[in-house]
A = this chain, B = another copy of it.
Amino acid sequence: MNKPIGRRPGPGTSRPAILAATRDIVAEVGVERASMRAIAARADVDPAAIYRFFDSKDELIAAALRPPDIATQVAAGLTASDDPARALVGGVLFAWEVPEVRAHLTALMRAAFTNDRAAELLRGVFTEQIVGAVQSAAHPDDSALRASLAASQVIGLALLREILGIEPLANESTERLVDVTAPTIERYLEGELSKPES
């Protein structure tokens, strides 16, 4: 391993700034209307400079939205907690209240509906991380179905509350929402799936 000669790829503030700016703007206007120029301006960087770090807009988007910490964080909370249902809904809803995480999640969801690459990323979060982690907490029968049902409730809730801003979900307290949805998640994960005749 010879030491390379020439200037080293610095830690540099630009690359992270570009990534953060990308998430911000995509969260605001979606992928298609997030122009390279707008991203560059937000990151206080020359538009062309972006291409020193990313080959194309598509790669930039993919890099900026690469599913992060949150999924693994929630997954960790899931296996740790003695109440996986509350850990799942709560993990996601509370994560959404952290500004940078909010931008990341909102951007990822906004993007996933028009951009194939982003959709693939989001699909990966589900099939690999969430479903994987949730399965371990779920009844072994139909565990994949159970996991995706739970995900559907959590995502639907986040969508109406955080992205579409539908009332009264948008202004309801996070705790209350966790309280009322946790039983649903719990049934999906561990309960009788088909309703027993009462």
Contacts and interface: CB of A to CB of B under 8 A. Distances in A.
A48 B179 CA distance: 54
Nearest to A122: B164
A23 interface: no
Interface string A156-198: 1101110111111100100000011111100110000111000
B145 A168 contact: yes
A91 interface: no
A159 B156 contact: yes
Interface of A is mostly: helix
B156 A183 contact: no
A169 B194 CA distance: 15
A17 interface: no
Contacts of A167: 127, 144, 148
Interface in A129-147: 144-145
Contacts of A172: 145
Interface of A: 29-30, 32-33, 109-110, 112-114, 119, 122-123, 126-127, 144-145, 148-149, 151-157, 159-161, 163-169, 172, 179-184, 187-188, 193-195
27 contacts: A30-B30, A32-B33, A32-B114, A33-B114, A110-B114, A112-B164, A113-B113, A122-B164, A126-B164, A126-B166, A127-B167, A144-B168, A145-B169, A145-B180, A148-B160, A148-B168, A148-B169, A149-B157, A149-B181, A151-B156, A152-B159, A154-B156, A155-B156, A156-B156, A156-B157, A184-B187, A184-B188
